[in-house]
Amino acid sequence: MTQIMFNFLALLVVISAIGVVVAKNVVHGAMCLLLCLVGVAGLFVALDAYLLAFVLLLVYAGAVVALFLFIVMLLDNRGDQRPGVKHLPLYARLVALVLLLAGTASFLARAHLPSPALGAAPGVGASLKLYAYQLFTTYLLPVQVIGFLLLIAMLGVIVLSRKHEVAEDAP
């Protein structure tokens, strides 16, 4: 049962990721990204990380993809009719393809980690108490740093998106 669910979700994730890479229309790409994230959230549920699945859907599918769609709407770029793939020399394409395939294949062929058998008890990720305990004891300093990082990111976005009055020497 779990195997069937994993196969279905993995197929969904990989196909929608391919959709993100090959989509000509950026909006279609964003929709594929949304589908991919939903599949990943399903995988998190299969791994007993319910909270992370919820947070992934909330932050990524809710906020990030919406932000992407908003920016695509803002920057209407339909005037460009050229293909969406960069012009690379043939040797560069071949080298990149071979390296990518060799890396993936060497991992798939050679990495065999021992997979501990899990019992019927739910995994550690299912317990909210453990998250809270870890976040407020071991990881207290990183949590504060992350809060500060979010503040800085917010200020940075405000500064970046402000209109400059002085017209600079644009090309």
Partner 1 sequence: MISVSLNAYLALSVILFALGFLGVLVRRNTIVIFMCLELMLVAATIAFVAFSCYNGTMDGNVFVFFILTVAAAEVAVGLAIIVALFRRRQTIQVDQLDSLKN
Min. distance of Cβ 145 from partner 1 in angstroms? 9
166 scored as a contact of partner 1 (CB under 8 A) = no
Q: How far is CA 90 from CA 62, 95, 96, in A?
A: 40, 9, 10
137 scored as a contact of partner 1 (CB under 8 A) = no
Supply the DSSP symbol for 126: G
116 scored as a contact of partner 1 (CB under 8 A) = yes
107 scored as a contact of partner 1 (CB under 8 A) = yes
Q: How far is CA 13 from CA 25, 59, 66, 130, in A?
A: 19, 18, 19, 29
48 scored as a contact of partner 1 (CB under 8 A) = yes
120 scored as a contact of partner 1 (CB under 8 A) = yes
124 scored as a contact of partner 1 (CB under 8 A) = yes
74 scored as a contact of partner 1 (CB under 8 A) = yes
Min. distance of Cβ 125 from partner 1 in angstroms? 5
90 scored as a contact of partner 1 (CB under 8 A) = no
Q: How far is CA 77 from CA 71, 73, 152, 170, in A?
A: 11, 9, 30, 20
Residues 11-40 that bind partner 1 (CB under 8 A): 13-14, 17-18, 20-21, 23, 26, 29-30, 33, 36-37, 40
The C-alpha atoms of residue 42 and residue 114 are separated, in whole angstroms, by 24
Cβ(16)–Cβ(29) under 8 Å?
no
Question: Position of tokens 């699945």?
Answer: 53
66 scored as a contact of partner 1 (CB under 8 A) = no
